[in-house]
Chain A
């Protein structure tokens, strides 16, 4: 195996594993902002205990997220030195801004939030979880700025063998930054909602903590419905339109549009086969894709065969990951809508089968995040910076393949261990349940 492939596998492994944790952190942090607010303002011991319970899960998730995030800050330099030199003038700035404007905020205030209960005023304690939520969201913004610049570079010229900044605002607000930011952060909120809903459902099934579990489930279901709908429309729709307009190869690949046509169909189901690029067992609706992407059912859209083979992204993985993400997105809306309906009918807490469904659904938003990320990043291939630098030309030239293989195995084993321990400790924490009520004042 060569250095390029090994470095790509290592990057995919390290960022894929890392990307399990920040969405949960962001989603849970915002839910805790609501939970702690209620506990503080209404002086309600149930909500205070709920806050303490979920803050333990937040702490565990945050710790693994931070630990695996350290790698990301340095891996561009260790494994992608040519890339780092080429994009440093633009790409380094958002990473540094993320540190200055976000990491300090979330890490500093997380310490205050976790250890400060009773040490600082209740208002200051609530403010600390708010700052954790704000910090983690700002962090998502800057990292998406950096990544979006790779997708749709803007505000630069290529001079002196590198991309040089011409406009910071154009680079930051490049065409894909905002669509991807809203789509990704909303996905994180869905992940948080399903976690809280699943945990509450577990407590209800075990007949533990009835009042607390019902309140948590109610919050998670209603919040979850809102964010799940928003994820499809407008955020998902806007993002897909942006890809259609700015990265036509990626759009053709994820949508499974292999030959250029007007009144392009939306493929609902198919099995992609290559070569030659074709879809088997296809179910499609004519004109819908043209209408969704360009507002006209007859609009022509370029198919993948319209692009030179050396510029085409892998077709199977992009199509399959994108479509499965959409299926999961629709499932999230359906599940939360059903839950809200049951809540209105007053049957939410007794529907044991639905509660079970919520429990097993906890990891699904994370699966959707991974699939969406694969569609986005694999869809950008063969470019590391779309149209400017190929992935195959971007690796560190001074690092031998053996070294990368060694570090890949090292991270593989370490992350396997961390993943197992995280799940074990998470399940343990949930089984353990919320802290016992304090008779005097929590």
Chain B
């Protein structure tokens, strides 16, 4: 395996790590918009309170890694999606401050305002990530100055479909996490939500895959001959069967593993279709940005690999330790938001 492929994998790992960790935070944020009871909303926010910030670091590190390993991709995609990106940033900013701000003032209107900020600040990214992925899978139009797509051009039917798929995935993952962390009526409601979300997710994934075949057949060129496809497809299939069963049986630990595995599988399957391209260019596919023509120098890739190999195991160890400290059901204490 060459260095460029290793970095393709590492960026993929960061994106997948972000999707399964911050994924349940985003899902929690969306679900919390539809909860009428103030006490329940507080439990939901506190279920992710101690960990969401660390989870979001996966996004920042993923952005940094993309910049370091594939600068032209970082530059052209981010500038190409300019207005969508600004919208995303505003949403993430509102979400990030909503926890602290909400907790500081004991007024109903104030709290409600920051709850909405938290919910909308989660829903917008949950939708936009999929829209961005959809556009990349579909291929971008580029000219000499960079990506030449307008905001409305980004909201094409295929990208919106992938956006909705992403939203369903985050909601499924969030509902499963909440069922794991909560008790009583809220847990039961989240159980039922997760059950419905599984059906939606499976249906949307089937439609998305068929649409992707129609929109971007090149994604499937080597798909069927690659053994990894079958491995991840088997994992996806196992999660889609085991997940709903675990939800029905109220085995939420297993259900969480299943929704995480489903998330990882669909990201891996999409990445595999793209490989070795990073940004397909339409209509001239030969002009695509690939892991070879858009990479940093071998020296930078090697240096960064050393930093990643030293740093990431440490990150994983203390992240696990921190999660262990907060394991069990969420309880509201004097330290809570």
A-B contact count (CB 8 A): 235
Q: Interface readout for A369-409 with B: 1 if CB under 8 Å, 0 if not?
A: 00000000000000000000000000011110001001100
Chain A residues contacting B76 (CB-CB under 8 Å) are: 81, 398
How far apart are the CA atoms of A70 and B89 in the complex, in Å?
7
The count of chain B contact residues (Cβ–Cβ below 8 Å) is 67
B54–A107 CB distance below 8 A: yes
Chain A residues contacting B283 (CB-CB under 8 Å) are: none
Chain A residues contacting B296 (CB-CB under 8 Å) are: 88-89, 92, 165
Which of A37-45, A112-120, A306-314 sits within the interface?
A112-120
Q: Does B233 contact A (CB under 8 A)?
A: no
Q: Which A79-138 residues sit within 8 Å CB-CB of chain B? A: 79, 81-82, 84-85, 87-93, 95-101, 103-105, 107-112, 114-120, 131
Q: Which residue of B lies closest to A63 (CB)?
A: B100
How far apart are the CA atoms of A108 and B100 in the complex, in Å?
16
Which of B171-179, B222-230, B262-270, B310-318 sits within the interface?
B310-318
Q: Does B238 contact A (CB under 8 A)?
A: no
Chain B residues contacting A79 (CB-CB under 8 Å) are: 79
How far apart are the CA atoms of A115 and B328 in the complex, in Å?
14
- The residue in A69, A79, A84, A96 that gathers the most chain B C-beta atoms within 10 A of its C-beta is A96
Chain B residues contacting A76 (CB-CB under 8 Å) are: 67, 74-75
With A77-B79, A88-B75, A119-B326 as given contacts, are A165 and B104 in contact (CB-CB < 8 Å)? no
Chain A residues contacting B89 (CB-CB under 8 Å) are: 70-71, 74
How far apart are the CA atoms of A20 and B202 in the complex, in Å?
46
A60–B92 CB distance below 8 A: no
Chain B residues contacting A147 (CB-CB under 8 Å) are: none
With A63-B97, A410-B86 as given contacts, are A112 and B50 in contact (CB-CB < 8 Å)? yes
Which single member of B60, B75, B333 contacts A103 (CB below 8 Å)?
A: B60
Q: Which residue of B lies closest to A407 (CB)?
A: B86
Q: Does A334 contact B (CB under 8 A)?
A: no
How far apart are the CA atoms of A399 and B86 in the complex, in Å?
12
A96–B147 CB distance below 8 A: no
Q: Does A414 contact B (CB under 8 A)?
A: yes
Chain A residues contacting B64 (CB-CB under 8 Å) are: 73, 92, 95-99
Chain B residues contacting A318 (CB-CB under 8 Å) are: none
Which of B30-38, B189-197, B240-248, B297-305 sits within the interface?
B297-305
How far apart are the CA atoms of A164 and B303 in the complex, in Å?
13
Which single member of B104, B308, B322, B336 contacts A109 (CB below 8 Å)?
A: B322
A116–B325 CB distance below 8 A: yes
How far apart are the CA atoms of A284 and B67 in the complex, in Å?
47
Q: Nearest Cβ in chain A — how far from B108, in angstroms? A: 17
Q: Does A280 contact B (CB under 8 A)?
A: no
How far apart are the CA atoms of A356 and B293 in the complex, in Å?
61
Q: Secondary structure of the A side of the interface? A: helix
B325–A112 CB distance below 8 A: yes
Chain B residues contacting A164 (CB-CB under 8 Å) are: 297, 299-300
Q: Does A429 contact B (CB under 8 A)?
A: yes
Chain A residues contacting B322 (CB-CB under 8 Å) are: 108-109, 111-112
Q: Does B1 contact A (CB under 8 A)?
A: no
Q: Interface readout for B48-63 with A: 1 if CB under 8 Å, 0 if not?
A: 0111011011011101
B85–A74 CB distance below 8 A: yes
Q: Which B81-103 residues sit within 8 Å CB-CB of chain A? A: 81-83, 85-86, 89-90, 92-94, 96-97, 99-101
How far apart are the CA atoms of A406 and B308 in the complex, in Å?
37
Chain A residues contacting B105 (CB-CB under 8 Å) are: 425, 428
How many interface residues does chain A have, given as a range? 35 or more
How far apart are the CA atoms of A276 and B32 in the complex, in Å?
62
With A92-B69, A92-B74, A111-B51 as given contacts, are A407 and B311 in contact (CB-CB < 8 Å)? no
Chain A residues contacting B94 (CB-CB under 8 Å) are: 67, 414
Q: Which B16-72 residues sit within 8 Å CB-CB of chain A? A: 49-51, 53-54, 56-57, 59-61, 63-72
Chain B residues contacting A59 (CB-CB under 8 Å) are: 100
A101–B83 CB distance below 8 A: no
Q: Which residue of B lies closest to A111 (CB)?
A: B50
Q: Which residue of A lies closest to B83 (CB)?
A: A403
How far apart are the CA atoms of A353 and B319 in the complex, in Å?
48
B79–A410 CB distance below 8 A: no
Q: Nearest Cβ in chain A — how far from B291, in angstroms? A: 14
With A67-B96, A101-B311, A410-B86 as given contacts, are A84 and B54 in contact (CB-CB < 8 Å)? no
- The residue in A89, A104, A166 that gathers the most chain B C-beta atoms within 10 A of its C-beta is A104
B50–A84 CB distance below 8 A: no
Which 8 pairs from chain A and chain B are nearest by CB?
A88-B71, A77-B78, A99-B61, A92-B68, A398-B146, A67-B96, A92-B67, A96-B64
Show 8 residue pairs from A and B whose CB-CB distance is below 8 angstroms, ordered by the A residue. Answer: A70-B93, A77-B77, A88-B67, A104-B318, A111-B53, A399-B79, A418-B97, A428-B104
Chain B positions near chain A (C-beta within 8 angstroms): 49-51, 53-54, 56-57, 59-61, 63-72, 74-83, 85-86, 89-90, 92-94, 96-97, 99-101, 104-105, 145-148, 296-297, 299-300, 303-304, 307-308, 311-312, 315, 318-319, 322, 325-326, 333, 335-336
